Amino acid sequence: MISQVIVLAALILPQSSSATPPQASANDPSGFLLWPGGVPPGGLSEKDSFGNHTISISHRDKDGRAEVHERLVDVMIIQSGEATLVVGGKSVDPVVTGPGETQGKSIVGGITRKVRAGDVIRIPAKTPHQFFIPQGGQITYVLIKIAAS
């Protein structure tokens, strides 16, 4: 848990834009991660895995499908943009998309929240969730997937 908090703090604390971004070094402790300015060195497709959790960047410019992760908790730190998030309730017409993963057309019975840059969201395992992006809008967020205990 402590290591997860340290990683979260490293990701959300402001980075100095005038200094040269630090680079990974052979002297770094095992498992240490730094994304200068909140961007993975390998680009937006980079996913860094650490056994019980994975860290990546997600960018959406259109509505998502209803997602349910049976064994993973999602923690999201919104970097830019805004969206409407529906969470809870029940996924409509779910289809298995991978081990422990389903996606559905929509959610019935969930709650609706507006989310924007600076918000931090935690979605428990087995909880349906779906993003709706406003016309011409987008949302970009750090996504941390943690194995549910």
Note the pLDDT tens digit of each residue in 58-89.
Answer: 999 999 999 999 999 999 999 999 999 999 99
Answer CATH for 46-147 from 3.40.50.300, 1.10.10.10, 3.30.450.20, 2.60.120.10: 2.60.120.10
pTM assigned to the model: 0.80
Measure the CA dihedral 66/123/116/118, to 10°: -150
